[in-house]
Chains A and B, each alone.
Chain A
Amino acid sequence: MIITHDLGKTYGNRAVVDGLDLRVPEGCVYGFLGPNGSGKSTTMKMLLSLVRPTSGEIHIMGRPMRRSTRRELLGHIGSLIESPPAYGHLTGRENMRLVQRLLDLTDNQVTQAVRTVRLRDHLEKKVRDYSLGMKQRLGLAMALAREPRLLILDEPTNGLDPAGIEEIRRLLTKVADDGTTVMVSSHLLGEIDRTATVLGILGNGRMLFQGTRDELFARSVPDVLVDTSEPQRAAALTARWHTSRLDGATVRLSGLDDKATAGVVSLLVHEDIEIHGVRRDSQSLEDVFMDLTEERGL
């Protein structure tokens, strides 16, 4: 759906996005992750041609995305970038009518979009009086009304309470089930962890990882935890060859493959230390994410 090649954006001499090769497969929910300021918004703006790339190319739906071609593509792309749009002095209904006029949409498309985000009961209220969650949902309705093939959402859960976040998550799943490709960014992994099928992790404008969840887990080996009768001595012994530290009464060893794990066990047995248990730490996506970002000195 989206392919970029060597995409970059430089402001002055500061590279905000650098050498980005995005691959967003059709029909997926692409979770675009990275700390604040890592270049997610700029990348998404380049995908929409709101910002002109300094280098590289963008292809969306097989066609090049540039200022000169953006009009053909934007009709099929719904987007919500940074803060939600909408005019505060107009009501929800008036805002939707505005989009309808601009994009030549049918009444049915508008009604459907409003129903999807569950705003039907709030359309007569001025947007100024909306809560942030309602504004966010109205923004989504404006993006969805054109029945896009691709939906680009920048931090749609930012500033929402847990219920609002859950609502957006539910919505994204529904939209994706209807066949729309969704690209959604967040600086909080937990927020899109469960919805995304493909992940892209950005740090300092560069792609740190891109692939499925499983591939991401495979990238980093969870710590080995060893429970013994003499944790102090065990930690000291293993520290000669491995990264080892005491975690409560448990020895925590990092970066061990299966062979090294066997070596550690036989060393401890040889030293007459009783082993009560050896296991891999359970690893959350959050840990992997932190590993990746720390590894690159972020």
Chain B
Amino acid sequence: MGSVRAEFLKLKRSLSWAVVVLLPLMAVTTGVVNTVVSDQQLGNGWHTLWLRVVVFYGLFPLALGVAALASLVWRVEHRGGNWNALMGRPVSSAQVVIAKLAVLAALAAAMQTVLLAGLVVAGKLVFALPGIPPARYLLVSVVIVLACLPVAALQSGLSMLMRSFAAPVAVALLGAVGGVLLVVTRVEGVAMVVPYGLLGRATQLGTGMFVDSGAVTTGVVAALVAAALGLTAAVVAGTATVLDRLDIR
């Protein structure tokens, strides 16, 4: 647990928080501006607003945001003698990898919270929607955060291996494009086992877009959660093995 707590300390004054706040707010703003400019109505209230904001957000920005966060949490380790110090401590490779993922999971959860909050504020202030969004969006949000984990684990591994900040983000862009193609072309089986595809699929949950039926059923939720956790475990195990064999240069 020491390594996880230490990782959270490193977030102090980190640029990560800027990503966590700005990215979801940008998504909300884009959705709102599009609606206002095109003079469309929110025909189905909260559901339409969710569609306008989250569907696009889940196709590209979210994966890129997670990638940027992964690059940011690793960037500090690539500076000075930090790599040497990190691995010169009695901490196993798996602990190092899991600690970073724990931080990314927390950041992803924070990002989703900002998105939800932004959505509620926009719905109330701009469109004067009645009540609050249905509770199922809370469940969908949890699924989205869980689906961020495999992408976070994979991007964390890439950022661990690459000193560059941009290169892993570029990989995420390619991954997101591939993920979108899988989701749009309705190859759901494959999308579920590719981290970027899974994230794309999870953000469409309950929207009725592409492969989604529009209903949030126990079966779909269970499949998404199981895929997310399974993929994360596999990527973490792989990354820890790689780190264990790595020469720190």
Inter-chain contact A45/B84, CB cutoff 8 Å: yes
Task: Type the 1/0 row for B65-108, where 1 means its CB is closer than 8 Å to any CB of A.
Answer: 00000000000100111101111111110000000000000000
Contacting pair B89 A89 (CB below 8 A)? no
B248 within 8 A of A: yes
A residues near B81, Cβ cutoff 8 Å: 80-85, 139
B90 CB contacts on chain A under 8 angstroms: 70-75, 103
Q: Does A94 contact B (CB under 8 A)?
A: yes
Contacting chain B: which of A46-54, A206-214, A278-286, A289-297?
A46-54
In the complex, A84 Cα to B10 Cα: how many Å?
A: 17
The listed residue (A51, A71, A102, A139) touching B249 by CB distance below 8 A is A51
In whole angstroms, how far apart are the Cα atoms of A101 and B178 in the complex? 41
Cα distance A99–B3 in the bound complex, in angstroms: 9
Could you tell me which residues of chain A, from 133 to 168, have a CB within 8 Å of some CB in chain B? 135, 139, 142
Question: What A residues does B136 contact at CB under 8 A?
Answer: none
Residue numbers in B under 8 Å from A135 (CB-CB): 80
A121 within 8 A of B: no
Is the C-beta of B2 less than 8 angstroms from some C-beta in chain A? yes
Q: What size tier do the contact residues of chain B reach?
A: 20 to 34
Across the interface, do B88 and A79 meet the contact criterion of CB distance under 8 Å?
A: yes
Please, which residue of chain A has its CB at the minimum distance from the CB of B88? A79
A97: interface (CB < 8 Å) = yes
Closest approach, in angstroms, between the C-beta of A277 and any C-beta of chain B? 52
In the complex, which residues of chain B have a beta carbon less than 8 angstroms from the beta carbon of A50? Answer: 84, 87-88, 247-248
CB-defined contacts of A265 to chain B, threshold 8 Å: none
* Cβ distance B159 to chain A, nearest Cβ, rounded Å: 16
B138 at the interface (CB under 8 A from A): no
A71 touches which one: B9, B14, B76, B91 (CB < 8 A)?
A: B91
What's the nearest-Cβ distance from chain B to residue A145, in Å?
Answer: 11
Q: Which A residues lie within 8 Å of B248 (CB)? A: 45, 50-51
Alpha-carbon gap, A50 to B88, bound state (A): 7
Contact B80 A83 (CB under 8 A): yes
Within 8 Å by CB of B9, from A73, A84, A98, lies A98
The docked-state distance in angstroms from the alpha carbon of A102 to that of B82 is 14
Flag whether A268 is at the interface (Cβ < 8 A).
no
- Please name all residues of chain A whose beta carbon is closer than 8 Å to the beta carbon of B14 when the two chains form the complex: 89
- Establish whether residues A85 and B85, one from each chain, have CB atoms under 8 Å apart when the complex forms: yes
B residues in contact with A45, CB < 8 Å: 84, 247-248
Chain B's nearest CB lies how many Å from the CB of A77? Answer: 8
Interchain CA distance A255-B87 in the complex, whole Å: 48
Across the interface, do B12 and A85 meet the contact criterion of CB distance under 8 Å?
no
Nearest residue in A to B84 (C-beta to C-beta)? A81
CA distance A83 to B245 in the complex (A): 23
Q: Which residues on B sit within 8 Å (CB–CB) of A51?
A: 247-249
Q: Which residue of A lies closest to B244 (CB)?
A: A67
* Residues in A neighbouring B12, C-beta threshold 8 A: 89-90, 94
B76 near A87 with CB under 8 A, answer yes
Inter-subunit contact A52/B245 (CB<8 Å): yes
**Across the interface, do B247 and A104 meet the contact criterion of CB distance under 8 Å?**
no
B178-205 CB mask vs A (1 if < 8 Å, else 0) is: 0000000000000000000000000000
Are B84 and A74 within 8 A (Cβ)? no
How would residues 228 to 249 of chain B score, 1 for a CB under 8 Å from any chain A CB and 0 otherwise?
0000000000000000110111
Decide if B6 is an interface residue (CB 8 Å cutoff).
yes
Q: Are A101 and B80 touching (Cβ within 8 A)?
A: no
Is B249's CB under 8 angstroms from A87's CB?
A: no
CB distance from B19 to the nearest CB of A (A): 15
**A202 within 8 Å of B (CB atoms):** no
A86 at the interface (CB under 8 A from B): yes
Are A104's CB and B2's CB within 8 A? yes
B2 touches A81 (CB 8 A): no
Asked if A85 meets B6 with Cβ closer than 8 Å, knowing A72-B90, A103-B89, the reply is no
Residues of A with C-beta under 8 A to B10: 87, 90, 98
Could you say which residues of chain B place their CB within 8 Å of the CB of A139? 81, 85
A102 proximity list for chain B (CB < 8 A): 2-3, 6, 89, 91
Contact of A56 with B by CB under 8 A: no
Chain B residue contacts of A73, Cβ below 8 A:
90
Cβ < 8 Å to B, chain A residues 85-135: 85-90, 94, 97-99, 101-104, 135
Q: Please give, as numbers and ranges, the residues of chain A lying within 8 Å of B84 by CB-CB distance.
A: 45, 48, 50, 79, 81-82, 85
Residues of B with Cβ closer than 8 Å to A?
2-3, 5-6, 9-10, 12-14, 76, 79-82, 84-92, 244-245, 247-249
Q: A residues engaging B (CB < 8 A)?
A: 45, 48, 50-52, 67, 70-75, 77, 79-90, 94, 97-99, 101-104, 135, 139, 142
Top 3 nearest A-B pairs by Cβ distance? Answer: A85-B85, A81-B84, A50-B248
22 A–B contact pairs at CB < 8 A? A48-B84, A48-B87, A48-B88, A50-B247, A52-B245, A67-B245, A74-B90, A77-B88, A81-B88, A82-B81, A83-B80, A85-B80, A85-B81, A85-B85, A86-B85, A87-B10, A88-B79, A88-B80, A89-B76, A90-B10, A104-B2, A142-B85
